[in-house]
Amino acid sequence: MVSSGDDMRTIIVYSSISGFTERYAGWIAAALGADLRRLKEIGPRDIRDYDCIVYGGSLHAVGVYGLRKMKRLIERAGLARGAPRLLVFGVGASPPKPETIAQIRDANFTPEEQERIPFFYFRGGFDFSRLDPFHKVIMTLFKWKIARKPTKTPDELGMLKAYESPADFTDPATIAGLVDTVRS
């Protein structure tokens, strides 16, 4: 049987602390008719039969949360480099400025990986009440750091406001580029 694009097996794997990345992962899985799993619930066996892996993690100090673990898992699954296809998306509270996205790419991928692994940034939000105790401590320290600054950027002021009432910028329309790339 000749394999068509429709036979491609795709899995969406994600890590999410407060639910924003989980929402994007669900939208992408539904759009592609793909399987959906949390990174912390899977091992190498769970990914080895897929042609395409889409990994999504929230941004933590510019790093895509769980990405290193995902890369190690792919290596342990004994998969040849470049196969299966890996695509990555990061979900952060910051507005999607080109310079921010370029910074995230450089912090998470080598130049060779940047050629090979398509990366997408989606805007999530911030909900302090949904963080686990560990991340609540980290983000409280971060809040104090911003609050102490004599002059604050508009993004920093927006961040401080989000501690008082949760901010949600998620938008299902923004996944279109990733969905098209997987299909192509």
Ligand X SMILES: Cc1cc2nc3c(=O)[nH]c(=O)nc-3n(C[C@H](O)[C@H](O)[C@H](O)COP(=O)(O)O)c2cc1C
**Per-residue interface string for the shown chain with ligand X, residues 25-64, x marking contact by CB under 6 A:** ---------------------------------xxxxx--
Query: Applying CB under 6 A, does 79 fall inside the site for ligand X?
Result: no
Q: Count the site residues for ligand X by CB under 6 A.
A: 23
Q: How many CB atoms lie within 10 A of CB 79?
A: 17
Query: Applying CB under 6 A, does 108 fall inside the site for ligand X?
Result: no
Q: Which H or E run contains 113?
A: helix 111-116
Residue number, 9 or 166, with CB nearest to ligand X: 166
> Which span (27-35, 66-74, 108-116, 123-131) binds ligand X, by CB under 6 A?
123-131
Task: From 112, 120, 66, 115, select the one nearest 88 (Cα to Cα).
Answer: 120
d(CA 170, CA 174): 9
End-to-end Cα separation, the chain, in angstroms: 20
d(CA 114, CA 125): 26
Size of the chain, expressed as the number of residues it contains: 184
**Per-residue interface string for the shown chain with ligand X, residues 139-178, x marking contact by CB under 6 A:** x---------------------------------------
Residues at the site binding ligand X, with contacts judged by CB under 6 A: 16-22, 58-62, 91-94, 124-126, 131, 135, 138-139
